Amino acid sequence: MVLSQEQIEKLKEQIYKQIESWPDEKKQPIIDEIESMDAEQFEEFIKQQNSEKQGNCIFCSINEGKIKSYKIDEDKENNAILEINPLSKGHSLIVSKNHDEKSPESSFIMAKKIEATLNTKFEPKEIKIFATKIMGHPVVEITPIYGDEKERKKASDKELEEIQKEFLKKDEKIEEKNSVKQSKDNQDEKAANIKEKEEPKEEKKVEQKPYKMKPRIP
Ligand SMILES: [Zn+2]
């Protein structure tokens, strides 16, 4: 592979666009590293990124529980999580469990459920739902609009925990209805677990590991 200067610039631009919403302390070292590479090193970097593509996908890592996320729903094909750099309160993502395919129909069914919860709990003016691919991973983005949105901002753990709690509250009610009683005396564990509505007995744990990953190219 021989890249022209023009191709290199274009690839760099793509990479920077992909990491645009990352916090500066994570983004800047990557930008510095890329800028310090000569053409040959950059090509090597691109090759490496492409071969590691799926293994490094942030959403695959979230699905595997390797990266901390604020899960608000789950079914066989999707995980719903809170956006950590939200535009607005309740900004959520439906992350497909399959990296390569486009978002399955069930992603949109789950998005509708999240939309209903957002409308009830936070009363936004409107809610935007659209399917996209982030770093090659199919995602449905749910953005509540309240009218005072400016730009995406990193949410604090506390903010995200509170919003997650609102969603889990609803889940607890459903669980009671299904008379599934588990770990009632352990609230922390309960908050970290999401139950699949279709299979209420199955329980999945969200591992709380620090957010850390290598950059990837879409
Ligand atoms: Zn992925």
Query: How far, in Å, from the CA of 35 to the mean position of ligand 1?
Result: 26
Q: Which of 62, 119, 48, 118 is nearest to 95 (CA)?
A: 62
Query: How far, in Å, from the CA of 148 to the mean position of ligand 1?
Result: 32
Which residue did the predictor score with more confidence, 174 or 122?
122
| Phi-psi label, residue 29: left if phi above 0, alpha if psi -120 to 50, beta otherwise | alpha
- For residue 185, is pLDDT > 50? no
- For residue 189, is pLDDT > 60? no
Task: Give the C-alpha separation, 109 to 171, whole Å.
Answer: 16
Predicted pLDDT of residue 46 = 82
- For residue 153, is pLDDT > 80? yes
- Vertex 167, ends 162 and 171: CA angle to 5°? 135
Query: How far, in Å, from the CA of 136 to the mean position of ligand 1?
Result: 7
Query: How far, in Å, from the CA of 53 to the mean position of ligand 1?
Result: 8
Query: How far, in Å, from the CA of 208 to the mean position of ligand 1?
Result: 19
Residue range 17-51, pLDDT digits in tens: 888 888 898 899 999 999 999 998 998 888 777 66
Return the structure tokens found at 155.
Answer: 């949410």
CA 60 to chain centre: 9
Residue 113, C-beta contacts closer than 8 angstroms, at least 6 positions apart: 73
Average pLDDT over residues 153-175: 84
- The values of phi and psi at residue 13, to 5°, are -55, -45
Query: How far, in Å, from the CA of 57 to the mean position of ligand 1?
Result: 4
Residues 75, 106: contact at Cβ < 8 Å? Answer: yes
Which residue did the predictor score with more confidence, 5 or 141?
141
Query: How far, in Å, from the CA of 71 to the mean position of ligand 1?
Result: 16
Residue range 108-152, pLDDT digits in tens: 999 999 999 999 999 999 999 999 988 889 999 999 999 999 899
Residue range 73-117, pLDDT digits in tens: 999 999 999 999 999 999 999 999 999 889 999 999 999 999 999
Predicted pLDDT of residue 115 = 97
Query: How far, in Å, from the CA of 62 to the mean position of ligand 1?
Result: 9
Return the structure tokens found at 110.
Answer: 């789950």
Which residue did the predictor score with more confidence, 209 or 120?
120
Task: Give the C-alpha separation, 31 to 104, whole Å.
Answer: 34
Confidence of residue 180 (pLDDT cuts 50, 70, 90): very low
Query: How far, in Å, from the CA of 77 to the mean position of ligand 1?
Result: 13
Give the HSE-up count for residue 156: Cα atoms under 13 Å, Cβ half-sphere. 3
Query: How far, in Å, from the CA of 182 to the mean position of ligand 1?
Result: 31
Rg of the Cα atoms in the chain:
19
Task: Give the C-alpha separation, 57 to 99, whole Å.
Answer: 8
Residues 130, 140: contact at Cβ < 8 Å? Answer: yes
